[in-house]
Every structure is written in structure tokens, then in C-alpha cells.
Structure 1
């Protein structure tokens, strides 16, 4: 996980450099910050995946129409 945090920091530094060189409203600056946001989203996704699902949750993910997996709203 620290590897992705290192990559995020590198991309932040790169984005700051790109914005200083080409201006804060340039396409290069926007693209560089988009790359940072994508890495941050991936880090968040990896954190969410770190929570292990139970066997029942996995079964319901694979069989959402199974009787025992149905959710009824009252």
C-alpha cells in the first residue's frame, strides 16, 4: 500500500511542476492533477478491498437472486 502512496506523492510533485511551467489553467496542469485523482481513487479502492467478505456475502454476490440473499424493504 505504501507503494501507491509513494506514486501519489510523485504525481503530486509532477503536477505542481507542470502547473508552474505551463500555468494553472493549462491542459497539462489539468491532466497532471487528473492523474493524481485517479491514483487517489485507486488507493481508496484498495483500502475498501482490504475488508474480507464472509462466505455468505461472496455467495450472495455470485447469486443475488437466491432466496437467502433477497432483501425485503418494509
Structure 2
């Protein structure tokens, strides 16, 4: 299976033109719809096209989560891991 980061990078740098991730997702959705229209909605090509869209959307979500800052509770627990509010119990 091809590594999604390679697919993502190739899609973004297609034709030496830099695109945003949102543009790549939009293009992938259009391509998936076209592929499904040509090959049929139950074809393997259609499934692969939508898998690519799903992976790109997951990558967007992961990037968004990575840039998300810590909450005040997370920052507090980093400084005071022994505090009652920060204790985690396994049941």
C-alpha cells in the first residue's frame, strides 16, 4: 500500500504548482465523483478514489489537531501532575 504522505505530497505539488490541502481535497472529491460516474459506484476504482478523499480529510484533521494548543487544565497538569484534578484511574 502506498504511503499516504507520498500521495498527499504528490497531490499538493502536482505540475509544480503548490496547492493548499483544501484545494487538493476539493480536486480529489471532483475526481472521485467523475471516477464513480465512469466506473460505477460499486467499482474498485470508485472505492479507491473515495479512500484517497478520506485519507486527505484525515490528514487535514490531524494537522488541525497538531496545531491546536493545550487547554488550561492540560497546562496545569503538565506543571502539577500530582494534583487531584490530573489523576487518571484505570478501571
Q: Same fold (TM over 0.5)?
A: yes
| Partner of residue 50 from structure 1, selected from 43, 49, 67 | 67
Provide the alpha-carbon RMSD of the alignment. Answer: 2.6
1:15 to 2:32 alignment: yes
Could you list the per-position Cα deviations for residues 4-31 of structure 1 after superposition, in whole angstroms to 9, with x for gaps in the alignment?
1100000001001100111000000000
Which one has more relative contact order, counting CA pairs under 8 Å at least 6 apart?
1
Which segments of 5 or more consecutive residues in structure 1 lack a partner in the other structure? 60-67
> What TM-score does the superposition give when structure 1 sets the normalisation length?
0.70
Structure 1's consecutive aligned runs of 4 or more residues displaced over 4 angstroms after TM superposition are: none
> What TM-score does the superposition give when structure 2 sets the normalisation length?
0.58
Task: State how many pairs are aligned.
Answer: 64
Residues 1:10 and 1:71: Cα distance change in structure 2 (over 3 Å): same
How far residue 71 of structure 1 moved from its aligned partner, in angstroms, is 3.0
Which segments of 5 or more consecutive residues in structure 2 lack a partner in the other structure? 1-18
